[in-house]
Structure 1
């Protein structure tokens, strides 16, 4: 199928209300009951469509009154990888971003 063009996913960190750094929920998707955070790795090949992943609802900065509601997107295999460790997500294979367990 399609190759990836090397675009990085947003993996920026968030802060707690007292200013301490915390893991960001930004960009996290759930597939088969596993959370897959975005990664900045490039150079992967998108494989077959696996199903649907859930985009986790996120409000990293509650004081701004804006957040992202839960959503859905397509999940794809990453050639040469195990879906329990890495998937690609996006509306199409050409737009898919790598999500990898840490």
Structure 2
């Protein structure tokens, strides 16, 4: 095996390991840490993946909870979360799903999830993508 081929294989393996480590179950027995999610009007939405949908009107600001899996915060320091613009997903209630992004064209679909399952409306979008 050539040095180049071996190096590429190691880089791919390292990248896969990093992406898996970025979202793993925490040692405290809770769920996954740093799952892509946003909160809008006290509802938490999870990333539904690369889904085709039609964004609608602007709703307001959605907040992404901070990732606290590194424990690097100082004493009394609050973790910083980020924000994004929430948009209506055409044909789906904002209580079920929203789109979040800088613009409607760059927004991603985030949906309410129960036991790692999305509503039938959202699942239909996923299946059709």
- TM > 0.5 between the two? yes
Q: Per chain length, whose mean CA-contact separation is higher, i.e. which structure has more relative contact order (CA < 8 Å, sep 6+)?
A: 1
1:27 corresponds to: 36
**Structure 2 residue 83 is matched with structure 1 residue 72:** yes
1:57 corresponds to: 66
1:47 corresponds to: 56
Kept in 1, the 8 Å contact 2:34–2:67? The answer is yes
Kept in 2, the 8 Å contact 1:52–1:74? The answer is yes
Greater helix fraction, Structure 1 or Structure 2: 2
Greater strand fraction, Structure 1 or Structure 2: 1
Question: TM-score, with normalisation over the residues of structure 2?
Answer: 0.58
Partners of 2:92 and 2:50 lie apart in 1 by 14
Kept in 2, the 8 Å contact 1:88–1:98? The answer is yes
Deviation at 1:59, TM superposition (A): 2.4
1:5 corresponds to: none
Question: TM-score, with normalisation over the residues of structure 1?
Answer: 0.72
Kept in 2, the 8 Å contact 1:46–1:88? The answer is yes
**Structure 2 residue 34 is matched with structure 1 residue 14:** no
Q: Which has the larger radius of gyration?
A: 2
Deviation at 1:41, TM superposition (A): 5.2
Partners of 1:55 and 1:84 lie apart in 2 by 17
Of 105, 112, 116, the match for 1:94? 105
* Shift >6 Å, 4+ stretches: none
Q: Which runs of 5+ in 1 are unaligned?
A: 1-9
TM-align CA RMSD: 2.5
